[in-house]
Structure 1
Amino acid sequence: MPTDGRAETGVEFVSEEGPVSVHELNELERRLGVELPSDYRSFLLRRNGGRVHDNDLATPEGEEIGIAVVSFLSLGSEGGDSMDEFLGVYSGRYPEELLPVAEAAGGNLILIRVEEGREGEIYFWDHEQEGDEEPVWENLTLLAPSFDQFMEALVPYVD
């Protein structure tokens, strides 16, 4: 793991939780009845969530698109940035094939698809466009085909 607070992409982490164990990951998968994509599992084993400095998501051509991560959710912690907290607050508001992995700016979410055959896709969930009664796909935007590719697209915000 980098010791200067930077992720593999150059986005700087300003805080992070203690390491998560393989046992904790296996327990989460058992409890949720899903299998986490391997690149996301690796991320959690290296860096169990954490808050990040100002950032933006960039297209493969380098164009910033105005979606920023506030913090990556952590396992085994309590409080505002824990996955359990987000599962409790947001459960039933996004399609069940998805799992929250990060808080985006503006009270939105970054979700990972855990549905077999399409696992690993990363989506932006816009809370202002969510369905009134049931979760909808219309307020979701596909950001990347995998967690690693999503992380590669995060860049420091430049004013």
Structure 2
Amino acid sequence: MPFLYKPGLSDADIQGLEQRLQKKLPSDYKDFLKKRNGFYATAPDYVSLPLDKVDEGSIAFDRLFGLIPDEESNDLLAFNEEFIDELSFLDNSIAIGEDGGGNTFVWIAEAGKEGLYYWDRTHLHESDDKNDFDIAERDGCGNLFFLAPDFTSFFDLILSTFISPPDFVEE
């Protein structure tokens, strides 16, 4: 399965991104952005990630955001400017990717909750019998499910779903 990505960002690009977000990005995510400015799955257009906290035992993964202003669905700034306020009850939340259906992968830097979470924004798993979330929704924003302690572990989780390493193709 190929993953398409844009050329990496410079340190200045990343500093500008953090200034616009008014938040610090995790260092391992910054390293990723220097190498690949976001990426998305193609043919098929998603990957199944294991998550035993929902009935199906898995969730979809489609893309990691980058600084791509001309592609709003792939742009870190556009998504965060439009939606991240829904998680205003959590300190330093940054949406970094999506499942392709409106549910998001979020980095949370709040003490005691640090890590990467799957944010069930669309309430896809709300009626699941299992629905063993880690952070309860507030004001109808959707529950959050812990996935990994850091970006590197999350990226490794994505890669672990393949029998052979996926192809990364620069656009």
Task: Decide: shared fold, TM above 0.5.
Answer: yes
3-state SS of paired residue (1:68): strand
**Equivalent residues of 2:119, 2:144 under 8 A apart:** yes
**Equivalent residues of 1:67, 1:105 under 8 A apart:** no
CA 1:117 to 1:66, structure 2 compared with 1: closer, same or farther past 3 Å?
closer
**Equivalent residues of 2:66, 2:75 under 8 A apart:** yes
Q: Give 2:59's aligned residue.
A: 67
CA 1:35 to 1:103, structure 2 compared with 1: closer, same or farther past 3 Å?
same
3-state SS of paired residue (2:62): strand
Q: Give 1:125's aligned residue.
A: 119
In the superposition, the TM-score normalised over structure 1's length comes to: 0.73
Q: How far apart are 1:31 and its partner, in Å?
A: 2.6
In the superposition, the TM-score normalised over structure 2's length comes to: 0.69
3-state SS of paired residue (1:92): helix
State the AA in 1 paired with 2:121.
H
Counterpart among 32, 35, 40 of residue 51 in structure 1: 40
Q: CA RMSD in A?
A: 2.6
Q: How far apart are 1:127 and its partner, in Å?
A: 1.3
Percent same amino acid among aligned pairs? Answer: 30
**Equivalent residues of 1:48, 1:75 under 8 A apart:** yes
Q: How far apart are 1:118 and its partner, in Å?
A: 5.4
Counterpart among 73, 76, 101 of residue 83 in structure 1: 76
Structure 1 unaligned blocks of 5 or more: 1-10
**Equivalent residues in 2 for 1:1-159, closer than 5 Å:** 12-13=2-3, 15-53=4-42, 54-58=46-50, 65-79=57-71, 80-95=73-88, 96=90, 97-115=92-110, 119=114, 121-129=115-123, 131-132=138-139, 139-154=143-158, 155-156=161-162
Query: 1:41-82 CA deviation, whole Å, 9 max, x = no partner?
Result: 1111111102114312237xxxx9321211111114322210
Query: 1:2-44 CA deviation, whole Å, 9 max, x = no partner?
Result: xxxxxxxxx741x222321110111122232322111111111
Structure 2 unaligned blocks of 5 or more: 124-136, 164-171
State the AA in 1 paired with 2:104.
L
Q: How far apart are 1:113 and its partner, in Å?
A: 1.5
